[in-house]
Amino acid sequence: MSEAILDISKRRGIAAILPKHLVYLLRIYVVGILCLTAFRLILLVQEFHQLHFIPTDQGILLGLKAFLMGLRFDTVVMGYVLTLPFLLLALDALAGLNSRLIYRIVFGLVTLGMVSVLFICAADLPFFHHFYTRVSTSILISADKGGNNDMLSGMILQEWRYIWPFVPFLLTSWLVINRNRWLLRNVLYRVEDSQTLSVLKWFAMFAALLAFGIWGRFSFQSHLAASTAYNSDYGFINMLGLNPAFTFTQSFVNSKTDAKNVRLMGDGEAVRNMQQYLQIPAAQAFDSPIARQVTFPDTPATKPNVVLVIMESMSAQKMGRYGNPKQLTPFMDSLATQSLTFDSIFTTGIHTFAGVYSTLFSHPVVKRKHPLHKVVPMSGIASTLKSHGYSTIYFTTHDKGFDNVEQFLQANDYDRIVSKDDYPPDRILSALGVPDDYLYEHAVGDLDGLHKKGSPFFAAIMTGSDHGPYVIPSYFKPKNEDPILGVVEYVDWSVQKFLRMAAQKPWFDNTIFVFVADHGTSLDKRYDMPLSYLHSPLIFYAPQLLGAPQARKQLGSQVDVYPTIMGMLKLPYINNTFGIDLFQEQRPFAFAYADDKFAVLNTEYMYVSRENGVTSLYRYRTGDVKDYSDSLPALRDAMKKYGESTFQTTQWLRHNGKQVAQ
């Protein structure tokens, strides 16, 4: 008893009142909140240069609100981390065990929980900078079955922006472990004499506080949700208040909830809506409800070669044509003026696998599904052209197994996949394989060989240089010292080199060259669905075949590339896709999916539907961040209906094996 009295006399403040178990938990909570706030501050500093569009007089107040909102989400996360340790310590206190074994288990649980949370916070920093959204289970999608994890780890280790977040992770982890060890020895291990009823009172009060912290709000109707953070017109401010461990866990739970099916509306309703959007009669001859026979009566078909270049991260906003003042793409800007160019084209997603899938097969991706991991037959451009006597080939800079590209494309009528294994080892510069100009150089040689066989060819070329780790060959000297800008200059130069080499070949005059992005990049972070991630150039270049240059402003999508090429060739086919011929048809909206949200666009407005339930309607053409949902309810509802119908119909077709029409 005398030792206990002496121990209490040495303690001050709340530590002299509360049981040692609760003192330990409260101090761990404070350490955790400080670490999580530090990561939020690092995120603010990392993205600070992107906040120019937030009014100066509102910035400080909005930032303070975001950090206060962050405290709520951080408390929820800390509540979950501390729940099991609390239960074990309550058992120890109420039973009077004073068990060092229990204390060691609590130490391990707290350390594991906190270090895991801090690791997610560290991973969130480069993820957010690249995708402009808080981290979710989508970070794991390329590491799923079919992914090449050696290539993935190579890309991470070769780029500084993926490595530096380990510095704050290691520092905060050291702080947590060191402080946790100190509290174990100086708080939990001390001798304490207390009355059971008094201990019970304090633990009951702490349990109520813990439950309230996890619930996160005063209302008993619903707990704290990510949507609570969306209380301003500025995407970054809203997302700054979120906790990445919270968003990651929430996305994991959601992925399990709807792992098998998207249930946005009835399948029949969705299919009927899509038939209306695509102007397909309900009664038609095919088993697929979106299939339609496309013919060109009285128009002679031609069979020129087609070279479709899918350009890594080539956002339209990198081009001077679309307002970039840095003169990064002088050749492509010039090329666009000599070609048939579409200026309002949007990709279907923000990942390369989505870009490859949607460009080559004209289908959007299904929610939370990697479209290439499961090999299924598709009626894509290669299969269609192969049926008309074309040879088909696909070029990539890196490992052909990444994203399961090889298996999927070979099962869908690509005769050959050219990849890292086909290139000289000394030309491989990074985990992404060879640089773009060598990819084109190698492709020209292979296309020579196909031409000599006497049949037309279709070639898809997936570039890679405009992706981290941004390796620029030593023989190219960009004007910009920043490698992220310099590599765009290199990419532009490589396209010029490619077309100059091709122009010397006998097959050049009879070839249509098509340039489109797989996706863009988050250059303009005005919206949490950046337009720069979706807006893509679409250039058709064939000076001897396509007539006078022309710029078209109509709305288009990545899924329209395949049907538009077929319209140029005048070859009959069954269009069993979500795409249209941009020269013959008009689309009401374009659709894009970005992991935790989807967007629907027309030529002026963008509707964004987030997984957290928050929706917005922006007038993106003017850069307006105001939400027009209430003032334009009819447009909002029409866009919502289109997006949900697209998701639901895509899923139905895939689940029922209707990607190939019979």
Start-end of H helices in 453-597: 483-503, 531-534, 561-569
- 155 occurs within a structural domain: no
Domain of residue 459: give its range: 267-655
Q: Is the separation of the CB atoms in 560 and 362 below 8 Å?
A: yes
Same-domain pairing of 305 and 245: no
CATH code for the domain in which residue 635 is found = 3.40.720.10
Same-domain pairing of 248 and 326: no
Domain-ending residue, one of 252, 285, 309: 252
pTM of the complete model:
0.91
Same-domain pairing of 370 and 242: no
Same-domain pairing of 283 and 233: no
- Give me the residue label for tokens 């079919």: 146
Q: Which residues of the chain have pLDDT under 50?
A: 1-10, 144-147
Domain-ending residue, one of 252, 283, 309: 252
Same-domain pairing of 247 and 282: no
pLDDT of residue 6: 37
- 472 occurs within a structural domain: yes
- The DSSP code sequence of 488-516 is HHHHHHHHHHHHHHHHTSTTGGGEEEEEE
The Cα–Cα gap between 33 and 280 comes to 56
pLDDT of residue 319: 98
Q: Is 371 exposed, middle or buried (0-12, 13-18, 19+ CB in 10 A)?
A: buried
- The DSSP code sequence of 246-310 is HHHHHHHHHHHHTSS---SS-HHHHHHHHHHHTT--SS-SSSSTT-EEE--TTS-----EEEEEE
Per the structure block, which two tokens stand in for 555? 């709305």
Same-domain pairing of 33 and 133: yes
- 467 occurs within a structural domain: yes
- 260 occurs within a structural domain: no
Q: Is the separation of the CB atoms in 226 and 612 below 8 Å?
A: yes
**In terms of DSSP bridges, do strands 573-575 and 391-396 run parallel, antiparallel, or are they unpaired?**
unpaired
pLDDT of residue 7: 46
Same-domain pairing of 197 and 324: no
- 34 occurs within a structural domain: yes
- 161 occurs within a structural domain: no
Same-domain pairing of 240 and 302: no
Same-domain pairing of 128 and 272: no
Same-domain pairing of 501 and 577: yes
Same-domain pairing of 275 and 334: yes
pLDDT of residue 153: 62
| Side chain identity, residue 544 | Q
Q: Is 106 exposed, middle or buried (0-12, 13-18, 19+ CB in 10 A)?
A: buried
Same-domain pairing of 227 and 285: no
- Give me the residue label for tokens 């080499």: 501
- 642 occurs within a structural domain: yes
Q: Give me the phi and psi of 463, to 5 degrees please.
A: -80, 175
The Cα–Cα gap between 105 and 180 comes to 12
Q: What's the total number of domains in the chain?
A: 2
pLDDT in tens, 269-327: 999 999 999 999 766 789 999 999 999 988 888 899 999 999 999 999 999 999 999 99
Strand extents, DSSP E, 365-456: 391-396, 416-418
- 156 occurs within a structural domain: no
Domain-ending residue, one of 252, 279, 302: 252
Q: Is 213 exposed, middle or buried (0-12, 13-18, 19+ CB in 10 A)?
A: buried
